[in-house]
Amino acid sequence: MVERLDGYRILILETREEAQFARLLTEQGAAVLQCPMFTIHDAPDPAPVEAWIRRAIAQPFDDLVLTTGEGLRRLVKAARRVELGEPLIVAIGHSRSFARGPKPGRALREIGLAASVVTEVPTSDGIAATLKGVDLHGRRVGLQLYPDKDHSALIAAIVAGGGAVDPVLPYVYDARAAESNVLEAIDAMAAGRVDALALTSSGQIRRLIDVARAHHYEPRLRAALEATPIASVGPVVSEELAAYGLRTDIYPANDAFFMKPLIAAMATALSTRKPRAAAQ
């Protein structure tokens, strides 16, 4: 990157990839304000997850659809708790794997594997569209789900292709536990302590609005966002912003919808503005 983020304070609303995003921003000189939007816990009932793991090991799936990196990491963690970590990794290696964007692909690399297919559009609709072009007749398809999402379209795409779906939900969200974080983040923007808000998923926007409404903070939030540049990682996030009447100020160049291009776009856009820390 030619421009850097020295002296700029960037607010991130991440959980699953918070550490990596914060590290990348810090490497470019930014001061990172972190706001976890929810707490992640293992599935409260481990029995269905362990049963799925044992099925995957006993007869590896023909195809494995991974929707989040967090989900794969939780599955491996659950398998290791019952001393089945390595057998599960071996079994996953026998499956043709479909990754919903780069994050599940990165989690696969962490255990020495690679995705067979990575969707160009890192959404459930994107992976459903990818699977519509795949012959799944007679194939067992393992499907890792994630919380607070209607997965019916994705499941329907697999069934329509002839696959037999075996889903697993390895983790849950505890949203209420992190509400104070969200309110503090809104206050930081309202007080002018944030140079840019960086958004990497549409769920972050919904969560921000939902918490603000629940605590009668929405007018304060919208006023804060009017004064704070909003950086969007890609079209899904920008569409969600527009749905709430919000704008996108900063966007990655060349349709490269990942963290590093987003950071580069922020560095370029903010280089024309004095850091708020310098103005206070």
Over the stretch 93-104, which tens digit does the pLDDT of each residue have? 999 999 998 889
Task: Give yes or no for a contact between 221 and 246, defined as CB atoms under 8 angstroms apart.
Answer: no
Answer with the one of 141, 173, 205 that is the final residue of a domain.
173
Span 75-82, mean pLDDT?
98
Closest CA to 51 of 167, 151, 173: 167
Q: Does 2 reside within a domain? A: no
How many domains does the structure of the chain reveal?
A: 2
The verdict on 169 and 52 lying in the same domain is yes
- Please report how many Cα atoms fall inside a 13 Å half-sphere around the Cα of residue 211, on the Cβ side: 24
Cα 36–Cα 232–Cα 41 angle in degrees, nearest 5: 25
Q: What is the CATH number of the domain that holds 103?
A: 3.40.50.10090
User: What contacts 51, CB < 8 A, 6 or more positions away?
Assistant: none
Cβ neighbours of 253 (radius 10 Å): 10
Q: What average pLDDT does the structure give for the chain?
A: 91
Task: Give yes or no for a contact between 237 and 202, defined as CB atoms under 8 angstroms apart.
Answer: yes
Q: Which residue has the higher pLDDT, 35 or 144?
A: 144
Span 258-263, mean pLDDT?
87
The verdict on 49 and 94 lying in the same domain is yes
202: tokens are 């549409």
Span 198-217, mean pLDDT?
92
The verdict on 155 and 52 lying in the same domain is yes
Question: What is the C-alpha to C-alpha distance for residues 157 and 161, in angstroms, rounded to an integer?
Answer: 6
- In which domain, by residue range, is 99 found? 41-173
Which stretch, 120-129, 135-144, 199-208, has highest mean pLDDT?
135-144
The verdict on 142 and 20 lying in the same domain is no
Decide if pLDDT at 256 tops 80.
no
Paired residues of 11 in beta bridges: 33, 197
The verdict on 50 and 142 lying in the same domain is yes
Question: What is the C-alpha to C-alpha distance for residues 146 and 123, in angstroms, rounded to an integer?
Answer: 12
Span 76-105, mean pLDDT?
96
The verdict on 18 and 109 lying in the same domain is no
pLDDT band at 62; cut points 50, 70, 90: very high
Q: Does 108 reside within a domain? A: yes
Question: What is the C-alpha to C-alpha distance for residues 211 and 178, in angstroms, rounded to an integer?
Answer: 10
Answer with the one of 173, 195, 226 that is the final residue of a domain.
173
